[in-house]
Amino acid sequence: MAVLEILKIPDDRLKQVSEPVEQFDDELRAFIDDLEQTRRDGPAAVGIAAPQVGRFQRVVIVDVSNTRKPVPNHGYMILVNPEITHWDGFEMGREGCLSVPDYTGNVIRATQIKIRAQDPWGQPLEYEMEGYEARAVQHELDHLDGMLFIDRVVSRRTDLFQRKVYQKGGKPKK
Amino acid sequence: MNDWKMLTLVGADQPGIVGQVTNALYRAGWNLGEASMIRLGGNFTIMMMVTGEGVVEPVLQPVVDALGLHMHVDNIAGSLHQHVVPNIQVRVAGADRAGIVAQVTAVLAEQGFNILELESDVAGSSERPVYIMHIQGYADLPLESLEAALDNLGDIDVRVSPIETLIG
């Protein structure tokens, strides 16, 4: 296993659209092991996408099982050729990225998604997920289409308009 | 080169302020750092880190005069890449009255909460103004103790929530 080099902005390769995986072989699985080791090597990343290490194939890893406050999650997920088949709701959250050092910003993401993907052996996977995990998957899937969170950053002021339709956090007042 | 100045510019809002200010700086060889610019009550406000050779005021004076801006410059000890990532956000909303910010921020200060960003606005109408404030900051203490401390503020609706910054 090896820790791979992370591409960082302004590297134009991060804008490249990745190709679907067609060969589910040992080489792919060895690469996924390296990708996971790379994710764990730096700052606490909850996900990583293959193009972040210069491999332009549709492979991401997401694992939000280790947040400060536990959130609903499916543990360690390897998603090959992932697709969002359904999404619902939206909320703002703060994101950063291994490919964008020393910057965080607010991004609006769907709160509930359904996804279809394949595992490293090509077997079909389906997940329904919400909140932070759904956010992480959307962030990683963006990488596969050459998008970074900085392409989606919004002003926090935007949030004020959303309070009317969406409210969370805190506890109800007596 | 790394001696930063904090430049403050305020004046009646109009199109072209940012363009003219930053072009004057650029043409004189000045560099920009972190900045916050926003329209407040019909005024445009700029707070911006700048660095360059010599004195910055004469560089901007023609633009400042033409646009009717107020200019203020401080030498600062700051530098780039000093970001603190907020871990707690506090949202406040309620019928506008005197003392909302004072009361909430006094509690936050007592709890050792460091405010990194504060944005507030008055929504509603002139007859029924609503004060909305959004604070992001950093505190080491658990969310619950902050929540408990903010619970005694009567009519002010305060919501505290964690910010779990996603790195992916």
Specify the pLDDT at position B59.
Answer: 98
Give residue A159's pLDDT.
52
**pLDDT tens column, B65-121:** 999 999 999 999 988 998 899 999 999 988 888 899 999 999 999 999 999 999 999
Q: What is the pLDDT of residues A9-31, one digit of tens each?
A: 999 999 999 999 999 999 999 99
Decide if B82 is inside a domain. no
Inform me whether the C-beta atom of residue A173 falls under 8 Å from chain B C-beta atoms: yes
Could you tell me if B93 lies within 8 Å of chain A, comparing CB atoms?
yes
The single residue of A91, A95, A133, A140 carrying the catalytic annotation is A140
Residue of A40, A48, A173 to mutate when probing chain B, most B C-beta within 10 A: A173
Q: Name the residue ranges covered by the structural domains of chain A.
A: 22-162
Which percentage of chain B shows pLDDT scores above 70? 99
Task: Work out the number of other CB atoms within 10 angstroms of the CB of residue B13.
Answer: 12
Same domain, B12 and B54: yes
Q: Which of B47, B75, B103 is the last residue of a domain?
A: B75
Residue B143 lies in a domain: yes
- Asked about A140 being catalytic, the answer comes back as yes
Instruction: Provide, as residue numbers in chain B, all residues whose Cβ is less than 8 Å from the Cβ of A67.
Output: 164
The domain covering A22-162 belongs, at the CATH homologous superfamily level, to: Peptide deformylase (3.90.45.10)
* Residue B107 maps to a domain: yes
Look-up: residue for tokens 């709701």?
A89
| Residues B104 and B135 grouped into a single domain | yes
Contact B83 A102 (CB under 8 A): yes
Query: Is residue B126 assigned to a domain?
Result: yes
Instruction: Name A173's Cβ contacts closer than 8 Å, sequence gap at least 6.
Output: B157
Chain A residues with CB inside 8 Å of B137's CB?
Answer: none
Residue (of B28, B27, B70) closest to B47 by Cα position: B70
A68 vs B91, B136, B164: nearest CB: B164
Among B48, B75, B102, the domain boundary falls at: B75
- Per the CB < 8 Å rule, is A157 touching B121? yes
Structural domain tally of chain B?
2
Block residue for tokens 């410059």? B73
How far apart CA A9 and CA A11 sit, in angstroms, is 5
B139 touches chain A (CB under 8 A): no
Chain A touched by B94 (CB under 8 Å) = no
Whether A169 and B91 lie within 8 Å, measured CB to CB: yes
Domain with B38 in it: 5-75
**In chain A, residues 8-37 whose CB comes closer than 8 Å to chain B:** none
pLDDT beyond 80 at B11: yes
Mean pLDDT value of segment A64-92: 94
Burial A125-143 (b: 16+ CB within 10 A, else e): bebebbbbbbbbbbbbbbb
Q: Does residue B133 sit at the A interface (CB-CB below 8 Å)?
A: no
Are the Cβ atoms of A102 and B81 closer than 8 angstroms? yes
The two structure tokens encoding residue A78: 């390897």
Same domain? For B15 and B62 the reply is yes
Q: Are B24 and B58 contained in the same domain? A: yes
Kindly report the pTM of this predicted structure: 0.85
The string of pLDDT tens digits covering residues A37-53 is 999 997 789 999 999 99
